[in-house]
Structure 1
């Protein structure tokens, strides 16, 4: 049996994910983070080599995970990461025991996504002061997220050359390393054009007196790509200013997009395509959201519901 140091096995596995599985950087980083957490834990128990892994040490780690009070969704992701990692080690004869038999993934708790109502979206978008360049960029950003329903990672990765204003489209690089087209409504197009007119103001460096050559669609004030973290800060600023007292992330704007389409009569298959979901079961969470609202409306408005 081949022996490997724990860090070497992780490096080997990451190369497998990148070059054989062709996963995105975000997916690879998620696997790396989960497995590195496991490696750090077991190294404290004087385990350095893959061949030293045992059922006992893995049980000990699972017990530790339970004590961390992670969210159900996080635990499920971690279990999936371990199962795939151990399966890789077993298939390559790096393990003398089958740890995958130990991994029983917890049941997924049904949860409802956070989203803004249509009136809240209108309030949020129209509250942005577009008399400044930052305001123009921020209005365009929120408009694009809501108009396209794109994932925040897809918005972060949007490039200038991917924008087709003539057809009101943007090509994005999505999950599974696949390209897809998302659509811009009239308001999003209008404000994106206004931002593009002044975009060079963000790419100009006062230090070098030159323009940065960053092809990203949305830039921060330093001329670099606007990150997901930056988007969160921007959204929080306007939510606070509007007095919208909800914990909403940029990704929740995507949930709002899907929920509003469903409320306006769009079919679940069409929403699946617009969201870029491979499996329709992922999209069906929005039908539960809408049913919850229907029940709430029934309780509120039916004349005998309150009796």
Structure 2
């Protein structure tokens, strides 16, 4: 593998380290590592668009990548070339300028619906699982990411105003709000704690509840509650967005709740939520076609 190429990648990751999360960095490292292996001894400075076409074909055919994985690799490399060319670490034209973007067919996002959430809450109440009640109600009402749940400490919660501040993607702080129901369950859970530990959620061993353990717990509890979907924490976040959207909250306000930097990310929910649209359309049709005063 070309040592000069490795140095460029390390320099790029250092440049981007201040505005990307750990998971994003891992994704970048993986995609760029795959690219370096493909290049072998060839210098990045010598790459042209035909090399990029060959790389995408290699990933599709040899690595069996689907459109989503290919699109991510395209975006990772495109950002890499743009950044390093702009900062004059590379003296070349972006080889991806002549390569067509990978089109990904957008799927309807799965999400936790209100009845599924209530089903889980009923099960947790029957089990007297106060930690679980606090976790699910906080996540469903605030829409926070699992990485943000992990970082929460007891003093972070403002129970009077039902709000807290988290550091989201890119270490940007944002204000989050939670429901009265979540407040009740959180206080109930904290009243069962007889420790002086700082983390909001702790494991049975008294450690900060790990992300992987929360993921496993959410899946296990949802199954035990009888929910048919494969529930993971991000589906709860999607559920928050869809619940707010279906109840009339404007997209720009949902954007603030979820902490999306770009409203185009939030607009994905609008494309997948037809419930309110269907209701409104049916109301119009019922009026127009059954109203008697219509000339239609």
Q: Structure 2 length normalisation: TM-score?
A: 0.82
Q: What secondary structure, in the 3-state scheme, does the structure 1 residue paired with 2:118 have? A: helix
Q: What secondary structure, in the 3-state scheme, does the structure 2 residue paired with 1:164 have? A: coil
The question of whether the paired residues in 2 share the 8 Å contact of 1:149 and 1:253 is answered with yes
Q: How does 1:42-121 map to 2 (within 5 A)?
A: 42-43=39-40, 47=41, 49-51=43-45, 53=47, 55-67=49-61, 68-91=63-86, 92-94=88-90, 98-121=94-117
2:254 to 271, 280, 299: 271
Q: Structure 1 stretches of 5 or more lacking a match? A: 202-210
2:243 to 260, 268, 292: 260
- Separation of aligned partners in 2, 1:124 and 1:283: 26
Q: What secondary structure, in the 3-state scheme, does the structure 1 residue paired with 2:165 have? A: strand
Q: Structure 1 length normalisation: TM-score?
A: 0.79
RMSD: 3.0
Count of residues paired in the alignment? 282
Q: What secondary structure, in the 3-state scheme, does the structure 1 residue paired with 2:166 have? A: strand
Residues 223 and 7 of structure 1, relative CA distance in 2, 3 Å threshold: farther
1:234 to 199, 209, 217: 217
Matched, 1:23 2:20: yes
Q: How does 1:176-255 map to 2 (within 5 A)?
A: 176-199=170-193, 215-255=198-238
Aligned partner of 1:138 in structure 2 is 132
Residues 96 and 168 of structure 1, relative CA distance in 2, 3 Å threshold: closer
Q: How does 1:127-166 map to 2 (within 5 A)?
A: 127-128=123-124, 135-166=129-160
Residues 218 and 48 of structure 1, relative CA distance in 2, 3 Å threshold: farther
Aligned partner of 1:175 in structure 2 is 169
The question of whether the paired residues in 1 share the 8 Å contact of 2:166 and 2:176 is answered with yes
Q: Offset of 1:294 from its aligned partner?
A: 5.3
